[in-house]
Structure 1
């Protein structure tokens, strides 16, 4: 089955700039969808394939930062590259802390913009690959993984779940093996792509 073509969603209330960005991206082979507002983008059907957002910071109604905050509540949110008409250090810092891939000042150089889009798409590929690996975990393995990430020791996890410490170690080892994580920091990064499961029945092994 052929791999889906990445979609770049351009969200900017400046129609002329939006069209220019769309033309540039299409010449690079990307599928592009343009939106004049955050509200228009939110009204679109959900999308969970490869892609990213080129997002204007200052827009009427819902601005770029507010849209980012709304989208990051969703585990399937797309990576974001911000565009701003003026350099604002606090806003750029906030955007990056919330997970933005890059923060570019308008008018952005074409090469810089395309490099940021490539970085965002690479991040998306990494996210999707991580979710595929996480999907192979059993419910118990997922729960043990999240408790490990929270910082609980094996003995504490065993007490929390009502299982033996030996069983915790088995589930922990299987989670590491299935996700391909070779260290706790790597497991933490992978777990960030997964929503913590609801507490299962304590009698579950």
Structure 2
């Protein structure tokens, strides 16, 4: 799958929008322009994943308000804030609200392109990680109560015999449950089962 190359530019200055559109398009990004934070937020429900590049000072909703709204709506989009000279305190506030970086105007074209590329790459990696964790959690949820007990015994390092004694059932039955656990969890070894249990949150590292 090709890397995500979508960028959403938000700036009330038409010249700045056109300049960024030309730069990003030339670098192979798929660019969508917005003249205000409000028009972007209105469009968000229909937009796919991408990197947001927003000016911090805009009429109506500014970049800080935008970050607050995205945070309250739990929108997981990487945001890069563009600031004018003297806006460093605002930029720091933006970082505290979840912006991943800020660029002080005028900035080098290459710096913007690199910042966007890193932001998209990191965000894609995090999203894939969240997807894997959700998959493991679903596997754990699919275990029966007895299979869950056997799994907890296995990751605690107990033998089949000790687990059988704990629940007053035969070791042979534990072998069946153990096989079911390994199949459902898609684990080929106890060490892999332990790693999955840690990722799924039932065993703390």
Three-state SS of the structure 1 residue aligned to 2:198 is: helix
CA distance in 1 between counterparts of 2:7 and 2:75 reads 15
Check conservation: 2:81, 2:103, Cα contact below 8 A.
yes
Supply the RMSD in Å over aligned alpha carbons: 3.1
CA distance in 1 between counterparts of 2:76 and 2:103 reads 20
Higher helix share: 2
Alignment of structure 1 residues 52-201 onto 2, 5 Å: 52-138=51-137, 167=152, 174-177=196-199
Instruction: Name the structure 1 match of 2:24.
Output: 25
Distance 1:175 1:68, change over 3 A: farther
Distance 1:74 1:54, change over 3 A: same
CA distance in 2 between counterparts of 1:67 and 1:172 reads 41
Deviation at 1:131, TM superposition (A): 2.0
Deviation at 1:32, TM superposition (A): 0.2
Q: Tell me the TM-score normalised to structure 2 length.
A: 0.66
Q: How many residues align?
A: 159
Consecutive unaligned residues in structure 1, runs of 5 or more: 143-162, 185-205
Distance 1:75 1:173, change over 3 A: farther
Three-state SS of the structure 2 residue aligned to 1:87 is: coil
Distance 1:172 1:62, change over 3 A: farther
CA distance in 2 between counterparts of 1:132 and 1:43 reads 27
Q: Deviations over 1:144-198 (max 9, x none)?
A: xxxxxxxxxxxxxxxxxxx98x94995985342569xxx85xxxxxxxxxxxxxx
Instruction: Name the structure 2 match of 1:15.
Output: 14
Larger gyration radius, structure 1 or structure 2: 2
Distance 1:4 1:109, change over 3 A: closer
Distance 1:5 1:120, change over 3 A: closer
Deviation at 1:71, TM superposition (A): 0.7
Consecutive unaligned residues in structure 2, runs of 5 or more: 142-147, 156-192
Deviation at 1:118, TM superposition (A): 1.3
Check conservation: 1:133, 1:178, Cα contact below 8 A.
no
Distance 1:177 1:67, change over 3 A: closer
Three-state SS of the structure 2 residue aligned to 1:137 is: helix
Q: Tell me the TM-score normalised to structure 1 length.
A: 0.66
